[in-house]
Amino acid sequence: MSTDRGMPVKRDANIQDVENDEFPILCETCLGNNPYVRMIRVPYGKGCKSCGRPFTNFRWKAGTDARYKSTQVCQMCAKTKNVCQCCVLDLTFGLPTQVRDTFLARQQVLTMPIEKANRAVYMQEMEKKVLPPYRTLFTEVNATLLRLARKKPFYQRNLPQLCSFYARGCCTRGKSCPYRYSSHGGILCRHELPHDPNDPLNKQNVKDRFDGKNDPVAQKILERIKQQEKDEERERKEVISRYLIKG
């Protein structure tokens, strides 16, 4: 495009480079147990749920009986926080970022800007660095994180969601139903029944999990850890009191 004077107009000077990757950053659980997994690759197929930039989207079936999964955040955001592009859990420990950052030292936690404009500038600065920030900061691993870390992949997380119509006894789709009936001989167990709609776990979203704020899964884990610490402290006091009484 040119003006009447013949000078070209400078356009799109501030448009950021768009990712064009060949393979996503995934944890072993999200990748699935099929070694011959096939993926659908869509360049510029989705906007990152963290920074909003378009990125190459991947979609695949994580196992024979699993559901289809897709990437949610761009690779730069995943590298910055050291998380999986699909489940947005930490790649090293398999925990939510809120749990990981709680037990890491303060100098090891990276805080990303909340505003979109500031976050875009922050991501541009991160792209200039060779090594992902969280990879270089894991010099001292917290003992609690090692205890909480998931040692093996949890493939049951990839199973389809339960069929609510089958739970009410009115599903007519049979084998063609894309949802799961049950994994225990056709009988729904108590923990497999549909959850309470007011349950905080039903209000999960990718952005809160990535930012490590108001994540219901992380809050549940932290509450469980606090309860365990209280129980251990109570048992320790009981042992000390018994020892003093016997002495």
Across 59-79, average pLDDT: 91
Query: Whole-angstrom Cα distance, residue 83 to residue 94?
Result: 9
Query: Whole-angstrom Cα distance, residue 131 to residue 70?
Result: 25
Give the closest residue to 59 by CA, choosing from 47, 67, 48. 67
CA 172 to mean position of chain CA atoms: 34
Contacts (Cβ under 8 Å, ≥6 apart) of 60: 32, 37, 38, 39, 40, 68, 69, 70
What percentage of the chain has pLDDT greater than the value 70? 69
Question: Which of the four pLDDT bands, split at 50, 70 and 90, describes residue 88?
Answer: very high
Residue 30 clears pLDDT 90, i.e. is over it: yes
For 81, the token pair is 């926080």
Q: Read off the pLDDT of residues 121-131 as tens digits, 9 standing for 90 and up.
A: 777 776 666 45
Q: Alpha carbon of 24 to those of 27, 57, 227: distances in Å? A: 10, 8, 37
Query: Whole-angstrom Cα distance, residue 128 to residue 46?
Result: 23
Contacts (Cβ under 8 Å, ≥6 apart) of 165: 171, 172, 173
Q: Which of the residue ranges 39-53, 160-174, 175-189 would you say has the lowest mean pLDDT? A: 175-189
For 47, the token pair is 């906007």
For 86, the token pair is 């699909």
Query: Whole-angstrom Cα distance, residue 29 to residue 196?
Result: 26
Q: Which of the residue ranges 65-79, 98-112, 211-225 would you say has the lowest mean pLDDT? A: 98-112
CA 189 to mean position of chain CA atoms: 27
For 63, the token pair is 């196992």
Q: Is residue 49 within 8 Å of 73, Cβ to Cβ? A: yes
